[in-house]
Amino acid sequence: MAKIIAGVGSSHVPAIGAALDNGKTEEPYWKRVFSGFEKSKEWMAKTKPDVAIVVYNDHASAFSVEMIPTFALGCAAEFPPADEGWGPRPVPVVKGHPALAAHIAQSVILDEFDLTIVNKMEVDHGLTVPMNLLFGQPKDAWPCPVIPLAVNVVMYPPPTGHRCYMLGKALRRAVESYPEDLKVVIFGTGGLSHQISGPRAGLINSKWDKSFLDNLSKDPKKLTRIPHLEYMREAGAEGIEMVMWLIMRGARDDKGDEVYRFYTVPASNTAVGHIILENARKASGTRKVAGKSKRGSAGKSRQAAARKSIHRIASKGKR
């Protein structure tokens, strides 16, 4: 059975990608940022996930104002780096995991979260920068396949923090009903506080960011009640990217260990935050997933029925 073994939160900033691509990582300004991810890269190299689910936002690279899905799941075999105005970044093409992605789409949609299925998509700094921060700069290939989950946080109305948190829980149910033994790490990316334009451009609110990280670790339900206006007021217009961290947190166990945290200000216009939250349960599959669910019985039986049909499809495929 597949398992989500940890959640990783990480900011994305295009200038971090540019610093990597232009050999500026040793400059003091950037060294301060990159040094905060050294231990994380070691953790990731030791953890060796089989698959990463990367919750991120597209910045008008794959989508535009013409069409913006709220939640879009990348089901393709590969996702090339997007040209964000200065040519595609010199990073490897991101390889997908179409079988697990299709399973997640089926499980989550039958669980009544209406994801958009995306079979062709380029990925921008929202996905590639956190990948670099955690996996380094591989020349030819990323160390594991990736399932991108793009979230609309660029055009009103973005999803609520609560919806994101509940989607995380649905993702976990999806992963844990996949029959193959896979270690999965889920990323929540974006943020922390920043505002790029307008009279409040340059806004950073470290106090609010740090309290967000504390609650993410210990009391995520409190975060699910934060309205959009509070993100805007306290964390700046682009601070709304932080709702994506709640998808990651919902996908993790209620209890678990915070094994690492880093915070620095600024990188470009942005407060950079990073956290690693391991799951309490080991990846040995000792616990019955459905048995511990806190959902109502109607939800449980709907999901059980959906899962039964998923298993039927999965075992048919094996014959």
Examine residue 163 and tell whether it contacts ligand DHB (CB under 6 A).
no
Q: How far is CA 20 from CA 16, 74, 164, 191, 196, in A?
A: 6, 25, 31, 19, 21
Radius of gyration of the chain (CA): 19
Phi-psi region of 183 (alpha: psi -120 to 50; beta: other; left: phi over 0): beta
Cα–Cα dist 53/40, whole Å: 17
- The two tokens of residue 143 are 């160390």
Q: Does 274 bind ligand DHB (CB under 6 A)?
A: no
Instruction: Please say which residue, 1 or 196, places its beta carbon nearer to ligand DHB.
Output: 196
- As given in the structure block, the two tokens for residue 27 are 């400059």
Selected range binding ligand DHB among 61-69, 112-120, 176-184, 266-274, rule: CB under 6 A: 266-274
Asked if 128 interacts with ligand DHB (CB under 6 A), we say no
* Shortest CB 262 distance to ligand DHB, Å: 17
User: Do residues 24 and 30 make contact, with C-beta atoms less than 8 angstroms apart?
Assistant: yes
89 touches ligand DHB (CB under 6 A): no
- Does residue number 269 form part of the binding site for ligand DHB (CB under 6 A)? yes
Minimum distance from CB of 269 to ligand DHB (Å)? 3
Element at 7 (helix H, strand E): strand 3-10
Joined tokens for residue 87: 């040519």
Type of residue found at 302? R
CB of 41 to ligand DHB, least distance (A): 21
257 bridge partner residues: 278
Which residue, 14 or 92, is less far from ligand DHB as judged by CB?
14
Contact call for residue 261 and ligand DHB (CB under 6 A): no
Q: Which is nearer to ligand DHB, 215 or 268 (CB)?
A: 268
DSSP one-letter code for 6:
E
Please tell me the count of residues contacting ligand DHB according to CB under 6 A. Answer: 11
Using the minimum distance from each CB to ligand DHB, give the nearer residue, 14 or 159. 14
Closer residue to ligand DHB (CB): 17 or 74: 17
Minimum Å gap between C-beta 228 and ligand DHB is: 17
Nearer to ligand DHB, 246 or 306 (CB): 246
Q: Does 13 engage in binding with ligand DHB (CB under 6 A)?
A: yes
Residues carrying an active site annotation: 125, 194
Q: Which is nearer to ligand DHB, 10 or 279 (CB)?
A: 10
Residue 241 Cβ vs ligand DHB, minimum distance, rounded to whole Å? 6
Q: What is the layout of strands, in order, in the sheet containing 270-279?
A: 116-118, 71-74, 146-151, 51-56, 183-189, 3-10, 270-279, 256-267
Select the residue interacting with ligand DHB from 214, 268, 300, 302 (CB under 6 A): 268
For ligand DHB, what does the binding mask look like between residues 177 and 216, x meaning CB under 6 A? Answer: -----------------x-x--------------------
Assess 59 for contact with ligand DHB (CB under 6 A). yes
270 binds ligand DHB (CB under 6 A): yes
Q: Does the protein bind ligand DHB through residue 14 (CB under 6 A)? A: yes
Q: Which of 168, 169, 142 is nearest to 48 (CA)?
A: 142
Output the DSSP codes for 79-109.
EPBPB-SS-B-SSPPEE--HHHHHHHHHHHH
Residues 6+ apart with CB under 8 A from 75: 96, 98, 101, 102, 105, 117, 118, 119, 147
Residues that bind ligand DHB (CB under 6 A): 12-15, 59, 194, 196, 238, 268-270
